[in-house]
């Protein structure tokens, strides 16, 4: 019996970084696999020339836009398995019109981002990096009465956005004893009950939570959702974390609030990346900066294509996809 034909568009060296040997061997044994050996991403025209007879594509960062022209010769294509996060850069209406299913590995990246959020919350409440810096600078041993430190158990943690990352963050924060509040207009009552969170409006969350973590997608309705008015509601001494996109927060308004020293922030995303060397955020002691690495762990990277290989093999066995994207919900996804 002929094997299913799978096209892997991911070039080396990226391909080797995002798949395990075991998963790759499983794909080769179960399918007729065509790989990208160009050492670079294919153009739309190059991809189109390779599509006849292909039933599934496994791609990652650098996928060309799948326009009507690119898909014109996709006579057998039934599944696109994307070994990365957002598919908005390449999925078009032409994909949906042809009934091609789309899956992605955003759920796996979400595990790392959620862990980063918990880490930053704990750092913000306990400030170990500040003690390290002071001790190494030879500053006097601090007196306990001068330490304004907190445990996370019992604290109200506000999550903005309850997609993959928000839901995984909720589980982690609840596991360490926090009370989780959630802002997400699309969060159903069933999901509220399943996740064990309290659904609140935006202002209530900003006012009421000691820890605030942003997990909102880039959409028209989320642009600068947090502006000067909203940031002024954040309580003194709060911990503010953004590991989503800077699109959601007015960066100038955030800089003004942080410059006042009212609350502490961990920021992984910025309007301009890399963050300019002379940017004023780099000079603030109440800000922890990381270079867009919340989802960047070796564990998550190796699982990206491995999870999508499992998804492709599941699809060929006639089993339901675990990470299928609903076209109707694509607009409100990251």
Tell me: the pLDDT tens digits for 164-179?
999 999 999 999 999 9
Indicate where the chain has its CATH 3.40.50.720 domain(s): 4-104+298-332, 109-289
pLDDT at 8 > cutoff 90: yes
| Dist. CA 70–CA 183, nearest whole Å | 39
pLDDT of residue 138: 97
What mean pLDDT comes out for the span 311-333? 91
Q: CB under 8 Å to 21, separation ≥6 — which residues?
A: none
Tell me: the pLDDT tens digits for 73-91?
999 999 999 999 999 999 9
Q: pLDDT band at residue 249, thresholds of 50, 70 and 90?
A: very high
Neighbours of 47 (CB within 10 A): 25
Q: Which CATH architecture has domain 4-104+298-332?
A: 3-Layer(aba) Sandwich (3.40)
Q: pLDDT band at residue 107, thresholds of 50, 70 and 90?
A: very high
Which of 38, 69, 221, 273 is an active site residue?
273
Is residue 245 among the annotated active site residues?
yes
Low-confidence winner among 41-50, 237-246, 320-329 (lowest mean pLDDT): 320-329
pLDDT of residue 1: 62
Q: Which residues of 282-312 are buried (b: 16+ CB within 10 A; e: fewer)?
A: eebebbbeeebebbebeebbbbbbbbbbbbb
What backbone phi and psi angles, to 5 degrees, belong to 158?
A: -100, 125
pLDDT of residue 146: 72
Alpha-carbon separation of residue 82 from 56, 75, 103, 219 (angstroms): 10, 20, 6, 20
Tell me the pLDDT of the chain averaged across its residues. Answer: 96
pLDDT of residue 286: 97
Q: Residues 66, 91: contact at Cβ < 8 Å?
A: yes
| Dist. CA 211–CA 238, nearest whole Å | 6
Low-confidence winner among 133-147, 182-196, 292-306 (lowest mean pLDDT): 133-147
pLDDT at 144 > cutoff 90: no
Looking at beta carbons, which pairs linking 102-106 to residues 24 or more positions away fall under 8 Å?
A: 102/324, 102/325, 102/327, 103/79, 103/308, 103/311, 103/321, 103/322, 103/323, 103/324, 103/325, 104/308, 104/323, 104/325, 105/303, 105/304, 105/305, 105/307, 105/308, 105/323, 106/164, 106/323, 106/334
Q: Residues 211, 155: contact at Cβ < 8 Å?
A: yes
pLDDT at 306 > cutoff 90: yes
What mean pLDDT comes out for the span 147-173? 96
pLDDT at 21 > cutoff 80: yes
Q: Residues 165, 114: contact at Cβ < 8 Å?
A: yes
- Report yes or no on whether pTM surpasses 0.85: yes
Integer-rounded Cα Rg, in Å, for the chain is 22
pLDDT of residue 328: 80
Q: pLDDT band at residue 140, thresholds of 50, 70 and 90?
A: very high
Tell me: the pLDDT tens digits for 200-247?
999 999 999 999 999 999 999 999 999 999 999 999 999 999 999 999
Is residue 273 among the annotated active site residues?
yes
Q: Residues 227, 255: contact at Cβ < 8 Å?
A: no
pLDDT of residue 143: 85
pLDDT of residue 96: 94
Determine the CATH number of domain 109-289.
Answer: 3.40.50.720
pLDDT of residue 46: 97
pLDDT at 31 > cutoff 80: yes
pLDDT of residue 331: 76
Residue holding tokens 């039934």? 78
Which of 15, 127, 215, 245 is an active site residue?
245
pLDDT at 145 > cutoff 90: no
Which of 50, 126, 292, 314 is an active site residue?
292
Q: CB under 8 Å to 77, separation ≥6 — which residues?
A: 51, 54, 55, 56, 57, 71, 98, 100
């Amino acid at each position: 019996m002929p094997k299913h034909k799978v096209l892997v568009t991911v070039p080396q060296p990226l391909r080797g970084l995002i798949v395990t040997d075991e998963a790759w061997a499983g794909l080769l044994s179960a399918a007729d696999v065509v790989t990208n050996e160009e050492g670079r991403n294919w153009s739309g025209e190059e991809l189109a020339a390779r599509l006849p007879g292909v039933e599934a594509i496994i791609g990652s960062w650098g996928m060309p836009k799948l326009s009507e022209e690119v898909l014109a010769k996709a006579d057998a294509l039934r599944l696109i398995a994307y070994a990365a996060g957002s598919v908005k850069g390449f999925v078009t209406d032409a994909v949906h019109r042809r009934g091609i299913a789309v899956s992605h590995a955003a759920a796996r990246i979400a595990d790392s981002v959620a862990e980063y959020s918990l880490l930053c919350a704990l750092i913000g409440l306990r400030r170990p990096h500040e003690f390290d810096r002071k001790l190494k600078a030879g500053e006097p041993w601090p007196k306990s009465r001068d330490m304004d430190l907190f445990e996370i158990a019992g604290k109200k943690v506000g999550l903005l956005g309850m997609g993959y990352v928000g839901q995984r963050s909720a589980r982690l924060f609840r596991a360490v004893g926090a009370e989780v509040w959630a802002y997400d207009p699309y969060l159903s009552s069933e999901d509220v009950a399943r996740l064990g969170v309290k659904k609140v409006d935006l202002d209530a969350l900003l006012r009421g939570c000691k820890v605030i973590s942003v997990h909102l997608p880039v959409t028209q309705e989320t642009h600068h959702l947090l502006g000067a008015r909203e940031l002024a509601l954040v309580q003194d001494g709060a911990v503010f974390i953004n590991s989503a996109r800077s699109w959601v927060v007015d960066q100038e308004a955030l800089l003004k609030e942080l410059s006042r020293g009212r609350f502490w922030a961990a920021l992984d995303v910025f309007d301009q990346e890399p963050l300019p060397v002379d940017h004023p955020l780099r000079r603030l002691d109440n800000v922890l900066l990381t270079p867009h690495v919340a989802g960047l762990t070796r564990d998550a990277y190796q699982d990206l294509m491995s999870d999508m290989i499992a998804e492709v093999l599941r699809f060929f066995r006639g089993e339901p996809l675990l990470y299928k994207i609903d076209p109707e919900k694509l607009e409100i996804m990251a």
